[in-house]
Chains A and B, each alone.
Chain A
Amino acid sequence: MAVSDRAKWNRAAGAYDSLAARAAERRWADFKRRAFRRMRGRVLFLAAGTGLDFQFFPAGRTIAALDISERMLRRARRRARDYSGAIELHQMDVGSLAFRDRSFDQTYTSCTFCSVSDPGRGLAEILRVLRPGGRLRMFEHTASALAPLNLMLHACTAVTRTFGPAMNRPTLASARRAGFQILRVRNYYLDVLKTIEARRPVE
């Protein structure tokens, strides 16, 4: 599964910035800046892609950023160097993180769980590497709670899956199922683009 994910995103890497990501980054710049402003402690950032999101990180943080595609990461390297803090890049699958248990204070995602093939496994891995009480903050496209909108999202996904993301994932329910305690959900576009704030329960 991860191999086909890697192949898909390696293929997408060449045109990703110009075709898919740059306009979306412009559209949601203010909202992403707001979503990332509370980065503290040891931070994990998932699915970094070509590093377009690095410009929205608050200055001076130490962040481990990963992506499954080596071609995406090659493009991310320059942006990581330009960041006024430290970004370590790792080529890694979200579904099998090579980090110790409880090694991060916070995990951030940006349009990640519309793109990984096994969201449940990825969320379980995040839960494992977060310390108890640690925060998961997600900026994600998800399925809608409204049936007519969901029908449209299924139709859109039939197209978007061929080159990248799925727009109909029940990410909020998946995070709950994985064991996260949901603290806050904020919609940015309909109930389809949202931030989800969750935490690993304190044992």
Chain B
Amino acid sequence: MASVGSRGRYFAGDLAACVAAGAAVAFLTGAIVPQGWPGWAAMPLGMLLGMLLSLPIWLLASSFLGMLEPMLQIMLAGMLAGMAAVMEPDSAIPLPALGAACGAGAALALGALDLLLRRRSSQWQ
């Protein structure tokens, strides 16, 4: 079925966009949020900043991947990467790599959930 092939291509595109968004967002969030903030303040700030900073990457990706589905994934990737960047500022892993891992994790988790929800929905309601 043609749609199976196109799903694979778009999954790869979504994954690449999430990895790019995660890396960029973690780098920028780490540079913007000063180190040493208490976790209760840094975490929500990192998440919010991460979501906002991921939007330009979503806009860029939307020309190739569609408008709304990549947005959900890229904003989640940005949120996780922003949170990781402020919670682990002294991580042994460079922040862009940490963010890229968050982006890949977001895309893979949503991909697995997508498979599950699509399989469950073909029943009559």
Contact = CB atoms under 8 A, between A and B. Distances in A.
A190 B113 contact: yes
Interface residues of B, number: 29
A192 B114 CA distance: 9
Main secondary structure of the interface of B (DSSP, over half): helix
Interface string A147-178: 00100110110011000010100000000000
A187 B10 contact: no
Contacts of A186: 121-122
A194 interface: yes
Interface string A9-37: 00000000011110110111111000000
A7 interface: no
Contact of A190 (B2, B6, B51, B117): B117
B12 interface: no
Contacts of B91: none
B68 A160 contact: yes
Residue among B76, B118, B124, B125 with the highest chain A CB neighbour number at 10 A = B125
Interface of B: 1-3, 6, 10, 51, 55, 62-69, 71-72, 75-76, 110, 113-114, 117-118, 120-122, 124-125
Interface of A: 18-21, 23-24, 26-31, 141, 149, 152-153, 155-156, 159-160, 165, 167, 182-194
